[in-house]
Structure 1
């Protein structure tokens, strides 16, 4: 619909858009917990379920019922070619297929069954076990199917390194350090337990890989790994005992109130395995709390095939609640609506008031802010903090006014103002030396960890990103700090980091549409003119990548293949992100009309949208997320701002 005639034929009436917004708003309200929060399912891939079964087999607690319920889910995700992917519509993935196959064998599936033969053939054709990632091979070493001698070494002495020393634990992103610490214990004990079968059918004899040149990073770390292997055979006994004790203390100190570690599955699983290696019995409170907490992350559903069990790798109630509040307020729901008051109380209670690992780099900074999950006080993040502050600002009227929460609960309003002030101060204090922000830590930018042979999967550091920095800039503008030199420096960083084509890279969402959808509204809110060359280029990039049907979509392959940047199947969330940018910079654009028309035309009768495609990012190119609430909160926000002329509430 690129011609003027087509555009005029596609115009949508204000009443039609308003009706769509009401349907979306009512659906979103129906999803709120009685306690005040929202939480959509966080869907990932079957390696989460497979490793859950492997952990239970290792600990001796896997039941036939759990194995079969989980296997039904894993089977349902297998492609017609017999493989598994890491996101909807993605290419076959070796690691996911390998781990899914092993999990199905744990559930009793015969290796001679057609679906298993197809999977094992794919694994062998792609190099077998020897070509899987380090984490997959660690699992197989734990069951005697791979040699510990053929895995990179990460010694527990790592925990003893001071924070200024290269490759100390705090050089890694919080999610990586929480997995690495327990794995150093597992690697020390080198357990070999019975899997119940062999996976010889997944092994391929491959010629040894020649060593990399000594003067390359790979070559240097290969030599270092060889030295560490020699040390592992004869470690300094007193130092090793001290390191194991300190690592165990480090792990236990970071268990959260609900039994989790960091609110994410991998360190949770590895921590419980590591502690049992050190002699913690299965009835120890740390272990029982960990296992009990996993039930909250477990979803069971009745299907025609029987009960299906799947596991969330993480949960996002704080993030989802803040986004829901913004969406509802921007679509016109009054701030004193009972749903808003419940959300306000819950968000106030979720403020983080203790120090965590972030204080290693910022020891003088007072705590504040919000985490992503229900229970993750050790790891608040600046992205959630910014979004929660934006939500709080929409719930409060001007100080001393009778508007908003003040009208129904002045004490709650006072709590929210204080919490938001602490959150802003904490977020400002978490900026990195270049004036921008990472998600969880300040100045987590050393690249040495990325060179380690142990770290062959996912992002292992937390450098500043455009999307997180944009959310902080938007927050600072909202609280009247656009002229603050800190904000101005962050704006300069965003302008300097615009991609050549006019977009911005999206670290935590897919991908350039997400980054651009975050940065443009932030720059406009901070006072950058819509006529600024960077904004003009961004608007041009969005218009250029709008699909003929009016929508936007970007495939996850854009992280590894530039041909996919801005291209992919249409999604409601990505269309909304593009609209949020255009509504901030050029609300009268015909591209806005076409995008809104697509949202209205594709809305379901119940008010939400279908979105099987993954638009969230854990590790760019490696681990992807389908946030089930994204398909609702972002389109509702876009429709609300369209109806108000492009502005936020």
Structure 2
């Protein structure tokens, strides 16, 4: 292994007072413990953007179930999120987003806002300047088509016959990521039936009259798919009747088979609302049990907030109790909580009850693999994921449970399933194995968000760290994961973060995993990562990376300091043996100096990622669990050295 100088000229000039660190950690733990539900789980709000609320109002208008009790507080929330320039963004502090602003404008028109009101004129001006409704994403124009505000003929065709393609055939539904798959199948029904339920207003204020963009070259994959779309539109006008009827019936059965116990689909908004639309168009009334369960389940995703201006109503795109509980449990254990701590045991019992022992779509690629993973949400048994499973096992491994055999059995099942989901290249994706086809992203329909689930550095790192902690660091599966991580290090020394913002998240996950798996902290990959983190520390001592880094490399590693991102950077540096460095001491000082009196941290900026470049998340629990994790590891690493022992 190549080793270079570790740069230890920055030695133990410790500035963080151990007593202050312990006090901060103690206060943070008290705050976290107070947030635990009596049944054992933690769940912070999962904040996104007003697209969720706009589409909720559009859905209710289409189904004929809109009421003032829902519309008024939802519209109040949408208005409250409009910025001074008239726009709505996809993340706090980000640039105005064309499609989000267009959908918010239409939703507020539904709520009774006049097109001539100042805030509406400002929004419409931004939309027109940005390319008009003609430049919005396909999803936005599908919603408009439902109300006759955009022609169905000008949307990409989605034939329901896709459901017949075998799993080995290109562009079969299992080539898509699970979230896209669950969205595409119901949309094939909606796009085939092409309903129109006119509204009392138009959207001329949002139009530019611009012609459609020129098609790509016929010799490109995207260009070939554009021309295939023309063929499919022709077929759609005169399909084989019996084939289409059978496809629609099979699509409906596929949708119903994946409805979860809470009434939803996949625990996330897009497949949920499109499945409701598809079933309704197939003749299911809003009083049908499947429809009623779906609509009632959405209410469980609603956040109500009372303000002097009136009640606000907003919709979470997803909920993260399993993920949050795993992180909170691991954070408490890192902070020194004993393995039989009552809060830890309550969380453990709840997590054990959430383990999934039924099959799901993942079996298409791994038919012989026994189930045993965990999902992200309260109810999503069809789609467990390797990321949650790895983090849960990392936490459970350190628990002293009164029924140790039950715990060991759950860890064994979960580990076997997670390991079995390794992709052929040695990495791990989140929900599926070998979900790497490049074709779905080339379709005219796919102009928003990631549509496949290839291996990523952050997920692979979590699985590698899990295996190392279980004593399986020398297993061939783990070594292949390590090689994947080393092969995917960026030239600047960082790692790309798929599910968190961005290179700070990826690097914060990978470095601890590599060190746990036996990589020498003095090795070139680790020292390169350390240099990158040092170079991107803010002057205030913290770290931050703006979400624009997914599209603009100038933002990589740059942004306002946040508690979660500072903690991720510290976790990497501590794993690399940097516990005595000024960079770590300044980072710890930033966490202590910005902590609120109640033990938490403020974090308006989004640091979670749904779809890189398009959809982002503010996990409200990140701002507490990751600082606890980092402070706990810092004390363990640094305090022995202060007592005359070698740290780390």
Tell me if TM exceeds 0.5: yes
1:466-615 superposed matches below 5 A: 466-586=457-577, 587-615=579-607
1:43 aligns with 2:47: yes
Moved more, 194-203 or 549-558: 194-203
Partner of 1:394: helix, strand, or coil? coil
Equivalent-residue separation in structure 2 for 1:366 and 1:631 (angstroms): 35
The counterpart of 1:294, out of the listed 291, 298, 301, is: 298
In the other structure, the counterpart of 1:240 is 244
1:27-42 superposed matches below 5 A: 27-42=31-46
In the other structure, the counterpart of 1:644 is 636
Q: Is the 8 A contact 2:348 2:396 kept in 1?
A: yes
Q: Is the 8 A contact 1:372 1:381 kept in 2?
A: yes
Partner of 2:212: helix, strand, or coil? coil
In the other structure, the counterpart of 2:58 is 54
The counterpart of 1:345, out of the listed 331, 343, 349, is: 349
In the other structure, the counterpart of 1:401 is none
Partner of 1:549: helix, strand, or coil? coil
Equivalent-residue separation in structure 1 for 2:444 and 2:626 (angstroms): 39
In the other structure, the counterpart of 2:199 is 195
Deviations 1:98-143 (A, max 9, x none): 0111111111111111101100111111121111000000000010
Equivalent-residue separation in structure 1 for 2:349 and 2:479 (angstroms): 33
1:122 aligns with 2:126: yes
Go from structure 1 to structure 2 and tell me whether the alpha carbon gap of 1:353 and 1:6 turns closer, same or farther (over 3 Å shift): closer
Q: Is the 8 A contact 2:14 2:582 kept in 1?
A: no
1:616 aligns with 2:620: no
Partner of 2:617: helix, strand, or coil? strand
1:222-241 superposed matches below 5 A: 222-241=226-245
1:626 aligns with 2:618: yes
The counterpart of 2:84, out of the listed 80, 86, 99, is: 80
Equivalent-residue separation in structure 2 for 1:242 and 1:646 (angstroms): 66
The CA deviation at 1:26 is: 0.2
The TM-score with structure 2 as length reference comes to 0.96
Moved more, 587-596 or 442-451: 587-596
The CA deviation at 1:10 is: 7.9
Go from structure 1 to structure 2 and tell me whether the alpha carbon gap of 1:542 and 1:5 turns closer, same or farther (over 3 Å shift): closer
Partner of 2:637: helix, strand, or coil? coil
The CA deviation at 1:6 is: 12
Equivalent-residue separation in structure 2 for 1:273 and 1:323 (angstroms): 35
In the other structure, the counterpart of 1:314 is 318
In the other structure, the counterpart of 1:273 is 277
Deviations 1:202-242 (A, max 9, x none): 11201232222110122111110000000000000000000
The number of equivalent residue pairs is 633
Q: CA RMSD in A?
A: 1.6
The CA deviation at 1:646 is: 6.4
Equivalent-residue separation in structure 2 for 1:112 and 1:274 (angstroms): 35
Q: Is the 8 A contact 2:12 2:581 kept in 1?
A: no
Equivalent-residue separation in structure 1 for 2:551 and 2:134 (angstroms): 23
Equivalent-residue separation in structure 2 for 1:73 and 1:224 (angstroms): 42
In the other structure, the counterpart of 1:149 is 153
Moved more, 512-521 or 190-199: 190-199
Deviations 1:434-493 (A, max 9, x none): 011000000000100010010100000000000000000000001110010111111011
Q: Is the 8 A contact 1:584 1:646 kept in 2?
A: no
Equivalent-residue separation in structure 2 for 1:8 and 1:597 (angstroms): 15
Equivalent-residue separation in structure 2 for 1:468 and 1:518 (angstroms): 8
Partner of 2:397: helix, strand, or coil? helix
The CA deviation at 1:281 is: 1.3
In the other structure, the counterpart of 2:642 is none
Q: Is the 8 A contact 1:615 1:626 kept in 2?
A: yes
In the other structure, the counterpart of 2:216 is 212
Equivalent-residue separation in structure 1 for 2:9 and 2:528 (angstroms): 25
The CA deviation at 1:373 is: 0.2
- Unaligned 5+ residue runs, structure 2? 1-7, 640-646
1:140 aligns with 2:135: no
Deviations 1:599-629 (A, max 9, x none): 0000000000000000000000100000000
In the other structure, the counterpart of 1:398 is none
In the other structure, the counterpart of 1:399 is none
Deviations 1:511-569 (A, max 9, x none): 00000000000000001100111001001110111111110000001100111000000
In the other structure, the counterpart of 1:103 is 107
Partner of 2:533: helix, strand, or coil? helix
Equivalent-residue separation in structure 1 for 2:10 and 2:387 (angstroms): 40
In the other structure, the counterpart of 1:162 is 166
The CA deviation at 1:7 is: 11
The TM-score with structure 1 as length reference comes to 0.96
Q: Is the 8 A contact 1:173 1:461 kept in 2?
A: yes
Equivalent-residue separation in structure 2 for 1:433 and 1:606 (angstroms): 47
Partner of 2:26: helix, strand, or coil? helix
Q: Is the 8 A contact 1:57 1:195 kept in 2?
A: no
Q: Is the 8 A contact 1:366 1:426 kept in 2?
A: yes
Partner of 2:114: helix, strand, or coil? coil
Deviations 1:571-592 (A, max 9, x none): 0000000000011112222211
The counterpart of 1:360, out of the listed 357, 364, 368, is: 364
Partner of 1:645: helix, strand, or coil? helix
Q: Is the 8 A contact 1:7 1:594 kept in 2?
A: no
The CA deviation at 1:642 is: 0.6
Q: Is the 8 A contact 1:583 1:646 kept in 2?
A: no
Go from structure 1 to structure 2 and tell me whether the alpha carbon gap of 1:6 and 1:644 turns closer, same or farther (over 3 Å shift): closer
Q: Is the 8 A contact 1:302 1:308 kept in 2?
A: yes
Equivalent-residue separation in structure 1 for 2:206 and 2:540 (angstroms): 45
Equivalent-residue separation in structure 1 for 2:16 and 2:216 (angstroms): 60
Equivalent-residue separation in structure 2 for 1:10 and 1:313 (angstroms): 43
Equivalent-residue separation in structure 1 for 2:301 and 2:311 (angstroms): 16
- Unaligned 5+ residue runs, structure 1? 396-403
Equivalent-residue separation in structure 1 for 2:11 and 2:435 (angstroms): 47
Equivalent-residue separation in structure 2 for 1:154 and 1:168 (angstroms): 12
1:429 aligns with 2:420: yes
Deviations 1:395-429 (A, max 9, x none): 1xxxxxxxx22xxx2x2x32221111101000111
Equivalent-residue separation in structure 2 for 1:477 and 1:208 (angstroms): 53
